[in-house]
Structure 1
């Protein structure tokens, strides 16, 4: 049985860890509010951008086949943009993204395709560093998501596609649903698909429809907005991953803080039992000595 000093030392150590996890939980909660506001503000923009591209491509005003970014080809090599966090201590968030990437890689290799990676975030780059799959790596860009970083990543992905180094590009990121649920999501980035998405839920609100007037000409406009559309998709994925990371970290630190409390309670009970056993032993020694003196 451990002595009282060891148990007391463990209790103090666990209490200090609890203070750290509580502080990290508060920091993650503060960062989550800011990141969630950015996501909520950007989602309508990204949705409308996709709607405009889809409507313009489906209107017949332009021919999607004349734009290289929209031309499908025989897929021999697939590239994956894996967006993870720069830091850990966020539960299984990074592991879930990497597991989703691993499953997707196995699926592509089963079809006889080569796979390469663009890793955004330090955790994904660290995991695949020795795999030989990484073509480009962008670390230390997820602590503060900026558009110029997303633009550089999108530019490199488009360059590889246009130079026919890759035939298809997908992006894997953490999609934020709510504070307690974030899921890995895989979207096809290149070639750009313009199929209309069906609404997941029926709404009673009337749908507003109408035709767009484009200036300059649709062909010239389309050539300009397609690269911007890729930039928007990458930036949206980075924002979603950033807010999911903070939500996962807040939940993980909250669980760790509760676990510290439970551990302190268990150690306190053990401390009291050990102290009581020591007192009982001393009393038995005193009583035994007294009885020996009487004899």
Structure 2
């Protein structure tokens, strides 16, 4: 039977851990409400901006006057923006992103990877630690963004990426992140940021293209909208990832609290059994001693 003092110490330790996980669950729930409101408000704007950009740029991007945002080059060097969290204790949230990036490299960029031409831009400390340990080339690092996430911070990331693409440092830019669906579900997304390409028309779908009057020219409007659209796309990905992280952490801490409760039940049962066995042993020793005195 286990030692009573050891079991009691374990009970105290598990109770302390349960209090911590319960508090972390409440904090994550409070943050989730705020982050969920932000991404819910952001999505209609991002979708409308992309729809307008699609209508404006279909002819522009496929014509003879392509701007540098849409220049399709030979895919020699690839940049992958990887959005993770800064902290752990959020279940499989970060693991799914890392596996998604590795799968993307293996399926699409294995040749570039063998030549060392796949570069990671980590957004979040966990991505930087993961790929840094695997000796993958990192370019820059953005950490501690999610505590005070703003559009200006996403704009800095967007400017960095667009400048690198324009200077020819990279021929293609991909974005990998977790999209928020609900508290318990995150959807892994992989999106191409650069070069910008018009979505392929869906067969049988009705055309919703709008005939605009351009002032100034169509090219000037498109060239102004594309960088803003890319920044909005990055900002939306960060908001999605932030909400997904809080949902994953809330779910993980709720499960940890439940597991601590189950463990406490087992430990208390073990403690009571050990205590009962100790008492029974003492009674038997007293009875045995009394019988020995009678025999004497």
Partners of 1:92 and 1:136 in 2: CA distance: 25
Partner of 2:120: 117
Deviations 1:15-42 (A, max 9, x none): 1111111111001001000000000000
Partner of 2:20: 20
Deviations 1:91-120 (A, max 9, x none): 110111111112222334423452001111
Alignment pair present for 1:148 and 2:152: yes
Q: Kindly report which structure 2 residues correspond to 1:203-242, keeping only aligned pairs within 5 A, or say none.
A: 210-242=210-242
Alignment pair present for 1:11 and 2:48: no
Segment of structure 1 superposing worse, 272-281 or 188-197: 188-197
Partners of 1:61 and 1:218 in 2: CA distance: 11
Alignment pair present for 1:191 and 2:188: no
Cα distance, 1:207 vs structure 2 = 9.8
Unaligned runs of 5+ in 1: none
* Residues 174 and 240 in structure 1, CA contact (< 8 A), matched pair in contact too: yes
SS of 2:145 mapped into structure 1 = coil
Segment of structure 1 superposing worse, 283-292 or 163-172: 283-292
Partners of 1:40 and 1:207 in 2: CA distance: 27
Partner of 1:126: 129
SS of 2:250 mapped into structure 1 = helix
SS of 2:146 mapped into structure 1 = coil
Unaligned runs of 5+ in 2: none
* Residues 57 and 63 in structure 1, CA contact (< 8 A), matched pair in contact too: no
Alignment pair present for 1:76 and 2:76: yes
Deviations 1:68-93 (A, max 9, x none): 10121111111100111111110110
Cα 1:59–1:2 shift into 2, 3 Å:
same
Please give the TM-score of this superposition, normalised by the length of structure 2.
Answer: 0.92
Structure 1 runs of 4+ with >6 Å offset: 206-209
Please give the TM-score of this superposition, normalised by the length of structure 1.
Answer: 0.92
Cα 1:197–1:152 shift into 2, 3 Å:
farther
Segment of structure 1 superposing worse, 189-198 or 235-244: 189-198
Report the number of matched residues: 290
Partner of 2:293: 293
Partner of 2:87: 87
Partner of 2:256: 256
Partner of 1:170: 174
